[in-house]
Chain A
C-alpha cells in the first residue's frame, strides 16, 4: 500500500514540479501515470523513492513515512522499490551480469562490494532472472552491445534482483518502438500479475495506458487532474483528454 499525501516539490531554481499531489495505490495495482512532458511524472516517481527530496508532503509506504527516514533506513526501504528508466541507466561498459547483480547491492555488505564480490546465491538468482527475461545468452556481453529492448530487459532484471514489492517505471518504453513497447509492458504486466508487484508506470500513449493499466492518474502542470479506473480510461472523452494533455492535444491511434 502506497499513500502519497500532499506531495509538493520545488526545484532549487524555483520551478514548482509538483503541487499538493495526493493519491493511494493499493497493493497489486498497475498504476498508469499520464501527462505531458514536464507535467511532473518523473518528479513524482523520484519523490516516491526519494531520489529527489520532496519539499512538502508525505510518502507512506506500508505504514512508514519515507520522507522522514534517515539515509540508512531509506536504503533499506529502497531495496523493496525497484526502478526502471527511460534511458535504461545501465553501466554501459560493464557486463550484463554485473549490471543485473548491482540490483543486489542493497543487500550486500559494502566491504564485499569493494572487491566486486557477490554471494553464490545472488549469482544464481541473477542467472534465473536473466533466464526469465529471456536474455540469459547475453549475460557476459557488455551492456552497450545489446539492443534497446534487451537493455530495458536488463533494467527490469536489475530491479527484480531487489525482490521488489513495487516497481517505479519512468517512461520505460519512450525510447522503444511500438512492438518492443508492448513486449516490455507485457513483461511488467506479468510481474504485476504473477509476482503481485505493484507497478507505477508513467506513459505517453493513451492506448498503452488503456491496454495495461488497472488504474490511471493524470498530471498537468504538477497537479493531479485525473484519477480513474481502467474502465473510466476506456471511456475517456475527448474533452477530458484535453484537460490532461492541453488544448492542442490530439488523440493518436498508434495501432
Chain B
C-alpha cells in the first residue's frame, strides 16, 4: 500500500481483474509466483479461520448456513473498505495536497474501518444468534478475521494491477505486512480461545482475600494448643404445644457455673422457602458462677447432638459481670431438621461454654506432623528416582551417543552368533525355569525368583553362546569360502534366524489387526497361514540381504542401536511425569512407589539424553589415541570418555535431582504419594491453613535444594 505512488503511472487492470476473482492469480500471472502463492494462501487461511470460528460460535450443525453468514459479512466488510478507500482517494486528490495530511487521512480510513467493523458485529450477532446460545468471543473473532480477509482481498487486487504493470523490475514482495496481518489474526483467535477475561480478574479479586491470608500465615495450625472448657446447660423443649411446661428451669447453684432460662418451652424460628425469618420464642437466659470479666459462648445443641452458634437470634458472646453472673435474651433458633420430619416435642440443650485461654503445648499438630512426614517422603521419592535414574541412564547414554556408536560395526558372524545364542538361551532358560517351577509345585505356584533366575539363565547362555557360535559360524563359512557356497550358506542361516521373529510377527498381525477387522473367529482360522507367511517374508528379506551384502563388510549395528535407543528415549521423555504417574499408580497402586516409578522412567529418558549429548561433545582426540594403543572399546570408554564426561554428568545429575524433588511435590496430585497427595485433599476440603503449611514446606524445600544444588554444581564444575 505504501509503494502506490511509485508506480501509479503503469498499472495492469487485467491482472487486477484476475486477482479480484482468485486472490494472488494476477501476481502469479505477472511472474511473481511466490507472492501470488502467499497471497492466495493467506486469504484462504483467513477465510477458513473465520468460517471455522463462525461454526464454533453458532454451533450450527449445517456448515452452509455459517458459510452464508460469512460471505455476507465479508462482502459487507469489503464494500465498506472500498467506500472508505474511494473516499480517501477523492479527499487526497481534490482537497488535501499536503503529504502529511494524506498520511493522516490513511490512518483515519484504518480507524474508521475498524470502528465500522465493530459496529457491524452487532448486526452480525443478531443474524447468527437466532435461538442459539451466544458466544461473543468467537463472534468477534469471526468478524475481525472476515474483515481482515476482505481488506487483504481488496489490497491484493490493487497489488496485482501494480505488479502487472512492472514487467521487468520485480520488487520484493512485502511479506512483512502479510506476517503482521497473520499475527493479528492469530492473536485475536488465541485471545478468544483461551477465554482471557481481564475485567473478571479485576472485579473478582476479593475471592482470594479469604484464601490468601490463611495460606500465607498458616502456622497456628502447625502447633497444638490445649484449651479447657467449662459448660453449663439448660434443657429447652420445642415446639411447645399448649399446656406443656417444658423441662424444669435450673435453679442457681452455689458451687459451680449454672445457667437457667425462662421459659424452657417455646417454638423454633423458621426460615420459609419464600425468604425471611420468623423468630422463635424469646428466652431470657441468666447464669452465674462464671469467671468474672471472661467471655462465654452461647451454643445451641439440637436433639441430634450437633452444637452450633445460633446466629441472628441474639448475642452469642457475653462478657461475664464482676459478680460472675450474666443475663441475656435469645430467640430459639431454627431447627436443622425440617418441621415435617421433626414431629412432636423435642428436647434441645442450651449450652453456655466458658473457655480457658489457649495454652501452647509446644507440640506439633497432627496435620503438621503429617505434612512433615510426607515432605520427607517427597524428598525421598525425588532421591530414589534420581538414584535409579542415574544407574539406568548411565549405560543407556552410551548406547545413545552417536560418536561412540557410529563406528560400532559388528562382523556378521557375531550377529548371527548372538541370534543363535539368544534363541538357544531362551530355549534353555525356558526349560530350566520350567523344570525348577515343576519341582516347586507347578508354574502357577512357583515364586517369582524362579522366573528371574530363568531370565538370568537366558541372558547368560545367550551371551556365552554368541561368541563361540559366532566363531564356529566364521569357521564354517571360511571353510566354504566367502563366495559361492559359503555365501549361500550364510544367507540360509540368516533366513533361518529371521524366520522366528517373522513367525511371531505374523501371529501378532493376525491377532491384532485382522481380528479387529474381521473378528476373532475368522482371524483365528487363518492364523497359522499368516504366521508362516510372516516367517517366509522375513526369511526372504534376510536371505536377500545375505546374498547382496559385500563379504567382509560389517553390519552397522551401532547406528541401529543408537537410533532405536534415541527414539525410545525421545518418546518416553515427551510424556510428562504426571502421566507416567497415572500409569504407575494403576500398575502398582497409589502411593510413593508409583511416584518413584514414574519419576524414574522420566529421569532415565531425560538424563540419558543429557548424558549422551555430553558424551557426544567430548574431545575425540584421546579416544583416537587410546584406540591406537590397542585398547579395546571398554577400555577407551573407561580411560578416555569417563574422565571427560564426569563434570557434566555430575552437573546434570544434580540438576535432575533438583527437578525430581520439585516434580515429586506435585506427583501426589495424581496419586503418586508425597505431599501433593494431602495437598490436593486439603485443597478440596477447603482447609487452607493446611494447604498453606504444605505450600510453605514445598517452598522451603525447593529453595534450599536450589541453593544446595547450585553450590554443589559450582564446586564441581
A residues near B, CB below 8 A?
Answer: 49, 51, 70-71, 75-79, 81-83, 85, 87-94, 98, 102-108, 110, 113-114, 116, 155, 158-159, 161-162, 168
Q: Are A94 and B634 in contact (CB under 8 A)?
A: no
20 A-B residue pairs with Cβ-Cβ distance under 8 Å, sorted by A, are: A51-B627, A70-B411, A75-B632, A79-B629, A79-B630, A85-B625, A91-B644, A92-B619, A92-B644, A93-B644, A93-B646, A102-B631, A103-B629, A105-B631, A105-B639, A110-B632, A113-B638, A116-B638, A162-B630, A168-B628
Q: Are A93 and B643 in contact (CB under 8 A)?
A: yes
* B residues in contact with A108, CB < 8 Å: 635
* B residues in contact with A81, CB < 8 Å: 628
Shortest Cβ gap from B160 to chain A (Å)? 46
The verdict on A89 contacting B632 (CB below 8 Å), with A70-B411, A113-B639 known, is: no
Q: Are A89 and B624 in contact (CB under 8 A)?
A: yes
What count of chain B residues pass the 8 Å CB interface test?
23
Q: Are A76 and B630 in contact (CB under 8 A)?
A: yes
The verdict on A110 contacting B624 (CB below 8 Å), with A76-B630, A82-B629 known, is: no
Within 8 A of A (CB), among B603-632: 619, 621-622, 624-632
Q: Are B639 and A102 in contact (CB under 8 A)?
A: yes
Q: Are A114 and B638 in contact (CB under 8 A)?
A: yes
The CA of A106 and the CA of B638, in the complex, are separated in Å by: 13
Say yes or no for B640: interface residue by CB 8 A criterion. Answer: yes
The CA of A104 and the CA of B626, in the complex, are separated in Å by: 10
Residue of A79, A91, A106 near B640 (CB, 8 A) is: A91
* B residues in contact with A106, CB < 8 Å: 629-631
The verdict on A105 contacting B626 (CB below 8 Å), with A87-B621, A91-B640, A113-B639 known, is: yes
* A residues in contact with B626, CB < 8 Å: 102, 105
B628 to chain A: closest residue by CB: A83
* A residues in contact with B624, CB < 8 Å: 51, 85, 89
* B residues in contact with A104, CB < 8 Å: 629
Q: Are B629 and A162 in contact (CB under 8 A)?
A: yes
Most central of B619, B625, B628, B646 by chain A CB within 10 Å: B628
A107 to chain B: closest residue by CB: B630
The CA of A159 and the CA of B640, in the complex, are separated in Å by: 15
Shortest Cβ gap from A31 to chain B (Å)? 18
The CA of A29 and the CA of B640, in the complex, are separated in Å by: 31
Q: Are A98 and B639 in contact (CB under 8 A)?
A: yes
A161 to chain B: closest residue by CB: B629
Q: Are A78 and B628 in contact (CB under 8 A)?
A: yes
* B residues in contact with A87, CB < 8 Å: 621
The verdict on A110 contacting B629 (CB below 8 Å), with A89-B624, A91-B622, A91-B644 known, is: no
B residues near A, CB below 8 A?
Answer: 411, 619, 621-622, 624-632, 634-636, 638-640, 643-644, 646-647
A83 to chain B: closest residue by CB: B628
The verdict on A158 contacting B629 (CB below 8 Å), with A87-B621, A91-B622 known, is: yes
* A residues in contact with B625, CB < 8 Å: 83, 85, 89-90, 155, 158
Residue of A90, A107, A110 near B622 (CB, 8 A) is: A90
* A residues in contact with B634, CB < 8 Å: 110, 113-114
* B residues in contact with A102, CB < 8 Å: 626, 629, 631, 639-640
The verdict on A113 contacting B629 (CB below 8 Å), with A89-B622, A91-B643 known, is: no
Residue of A98, A105, A116 near B629 (CB, 8 A) is: A105
B618 to chain A: closest residue by CB: A91
* A residues in contact with B638, CB < 8 Å: 113-114, 116
Shortest Cβ gap from A86 to chain B (Å)? 9
Shortest Cβ gap from A221 to chain B (Å)? 24
The CA of A51 and the CA of B623, in the complex, are separated in Å by: 10
Shortest Cβ gap from A41 to chain B (Å)? 16
* B residues in contact with A78, CB < 8 Å: 627-630
**Other CB < 8 Å A-B pairs besides A102-B631, A102-B640, 7 of them?**
A49-B628, A75-B630, A79-B630, A85-B621, A90-B622, A105-B636, A113-B639
Q: Are A110 and B630 in contact (CB under 8 A)?
A: no
* B residues in contact with A91, CB < 8 Å: 622, 639-640, 643-644
Shortest Cβ gap from A93 to chain B (Å)? 5
The CA of A102 and the CA of B634, in the complex, are separated in Å by: 13
The CA of A91 and the CA of B622, in the complex, are separated in Å by: 6
* A residues in contact with B635, CB < 8 Å: 105, 108, 110, 113
The CA of A83 and the CA of B623, in the complex, are separated in Å by: 12
Q: Are B629 and A94 in contact (CB under 8 A)?
A: no
A87 to chain B: closest residue by CB: B621
* B residues in contact with A79, CB < 8 Å: 629-630
Shortest Cβ gap from A37 to chain B (Å)? 18
Shortest Cβ gap from B630 to chain A (Å)? 3
The CA of A215 and the CA of B624, in the complex, are separated in Å by: 27
The CA of A79 and the CA of B626, in the complex, are separated in Å by: 10
* B residues in contact with A168, CB < 8 Å: 628
Shortest Cβ gap from A96 to chain B (Å)? 13
The CA of A102 and the CA of B625, in the complex, are separated in Å by: 10
B622 to chain A: closest residue by CB: A91
Shortest Cβ gap from A140 to chain B (Å)? 15
* A residues in contact with B622, CB < 8 Å: 89-91
The CA of A195 and the CA of B461, in the complex, are separated in Å by: 47
* A residues in contact with B627, CB < 8 Å: 51, 78
Most central of B625, B640, B643, B646 by chain A CB within 10 Å: B625
Residue of A75, A94, A159 near B639 (CB, 8 A) is: A94
Shortest Cβ gap from A218 to chain B (Å)? 24
The CA of A78 and the CA of B627, in the complex, are separated in Å by: 8
The CA of A103 and the CA of B639, in the complex, are separated in Å by: 10
Report, nearest first, the 9 A-B pairs whose CB atoms are least far apart: A106-B630, A89-B621, A105-B631, A89-B625, A78-B630, A79-B630, A83-B628, A75-B630, A105-B635
The CA of A105 and the CA of B627, in the complex, are separated in Å by: 9
* A residues in contact with B640, CB < 8 Å: 91, 102
Residue of B630, B643, B646, B647 near A105 (CB, 8 A) is: B630
The CA of A91 and the CA of B618, in the complex, are separated in Å by: 10
* B residues in contact with A51, CB < 8 Å: 624, 627-628
Shortest Cβ gap from B94 to chain A (Å)? 69
B636 to chain A: closest residue by CB: A105
* A residues in contact with B646, CB < 8 Å: 93
* A residues in contact with B643, CB < 8 Å: 91, 93-94
Shortest Cβ gap from B472 to chain A (Å)? 15
* A residues in contact with B639, CB < 8 Å: 91, 94, 98, 102, 105, 113
The CA of A70 and the CA of B624, in the complex, are separated in Å by: 18
B639 to chain A: closest residue by CB: A102
The CA of A61 and the CA of B638, in the complex, are separated in Å by: 29
Most central of B624, B626, B629, B634 by chain A CB within 10 Å: B629
The CA of A51 and the CA of B630, in the complex, are separated in Å by: 11
B638 to chain A: closest residue by CB: A113
B623 to chain A: closest residue by CB: A89
Shortest Cβ gap from B302 to chain A (Å)? 77
* B residues in contact with A162, CB < 8 Å: 629-630
* A residues in contact with B630, CB < 8 Å: 75-79, 105-107, 162
* A residues in contact with B631, CB < 8 Å: 75, 102, 105-106, 113
A101 to chain B: closest residue by CB: B639
B627 to chain A: closest residue by CB: A51
* B residues in contact with A77, CB < 8 Å: 630
* A residues in contact with B621, CB < 8 Å: 85, 87-89
The CA of A116 and the CA of B619, in the complex, are separated in Å by: 21
* B residues in contact with A159, CB < 8 Å: 629
Most central of A93, A108, A155 by chain B CB within 10 Å: A93
Shortest Cβ gap from B115 to chain A (Å)? 62
Shortest Cβ gap from B639 to chain A (Å)? 5
A93 to chain B: closest residue by CB: B643
The CA of A83 and the CA of B634, in the complex, are separated in Å by: 20
The CA of A90 and the CA of B619, in the complex, are separated in Å by: 10
B646 to chain A: closest residue by CB: A93
